[in-house]
Amino acid sequence: MAAGDSGGLGGYDFRYLPQKTFQCLSTPETTSRLRQWSMLGRIQAQAFGFDQNFQAHRKDDFVMAFFKDPNVIANLKLLSDSSGQWITLGTEVKKIEAINIPCTQISMSFFNRLYSEDIVRDSGHIVKCFDSFCDPFLISDELRKVLLVEDSEKYAIFSQPDREEFLFCLFKHLCLGGALCQYEDVLNPYLETTKLLYKDLVSVRKIPQTKKIQITSSVFKVTAYVSMRGSLQPMNLITCY
């Protein structure tokens, strides 16, 4: 979601921004990779503007206002579990749970440890291992093992705070893919696609005094509940401000 001008202290108003496109999801190379990873058509990004400054201590109010806004209800796309098709929200959300996702990493060197820890060879090829299962995933290389198997020898090369970072979450999501994923033998396609997504979804600024890059986005994992057949049904989304 994109920020708008500052407003008063009342409720937020949102507007759909269909003209805002996310090129990371539409380039031929990315489209080809997502198809190979069984993810094409199962990832979507949309932009909405709003009329006030975001205040971190009011994040729950902000998220709830987002899902109750008529422009959001009429335009927000969700992937239906039952049909596998994208549908509009179409109804007011009754309850939300919003979890902050840390978003501090500014360099893909975050993943260099995959080389130094022999998860990936210097050539970029991912090291293979004996097949095992971590339901529902087949583990046949050291990369998926370090992503999924908590008691594996090298799982600790990424700490728990590392694994909570938005950059890591995107990378893991792409590496594991969809139900019919055809996995890569080399690391670079995963890194390149993660970088494109991250740059398109996250905003940065340069601090004048230090010339350092700082991320200005906030990221939330949101579970939104709608009333369906007399009970509350959850929907999971990632929201970037």
Structure confidence by residue, pLDDT tens digits, 82-128: 788 899 999 989 999 999 999 999 999 999 999 999 999 999 999 99
Stronger pLDDT, 3 or 124, i.e. the higher one: 124
Residue 45 backbone phi and psi in degrees, to 5: -125, 135
What band does 150 get if pLDDT is binned at 50, 70 and 90? very high
* Bond into 28 cis (ω within 30): no
- What is the per-residue pLDDT for 126? 98
Return the percentage of the chain with pLDDT > 70, whole number.
Answer: 93
Q: How far is CA 47 from CA 3, 17, 22, in A?
A: 10, 5, 9
Q: Is the predicted pLDDT of residue 200 greater than 70, yes or no?
A: yes
- What is the per-residue pLDDT for 168? 98
- What is the per-residue pLDDT for 231? 72
Q: Is the predicted pLDDT of residue 2 greater than 50, yes or no?
A: no
pLDDT in tens, 30-51: 999 999 999 999 999 999 999 8
Angle formed at CA 238 by CA 232 and CA 241, multiple of 5 degrees: 120
Residues in Cβ contact with 129 at an 8 Å cutoff, skipping those fewer than 6 apart: 139, 140, 141, 142, 145
Contact between 137 and 176 under an 8 Å Cβ cutoff? The reply is yes
Instruction: List the structure tokens of 119.
Output: 């998860």
Q: How far is CA 49 from CA 57, 71, 89, 120, in A?
A: 19, 10, 17, 41
Contact between 12 and 65 under an 8 Å Cβ cutoff? The reply is yes
- What is the per-residue pLDDT for 55? 85
- Nearest residue to 233 via CA among 78, 128, 126: 78
Mean of the per-residue pLDDT values for the chain?
A: 90
- What is the per-residue pLDDT for 238? 65
Task: Give the pTM.
Answer: 0.90
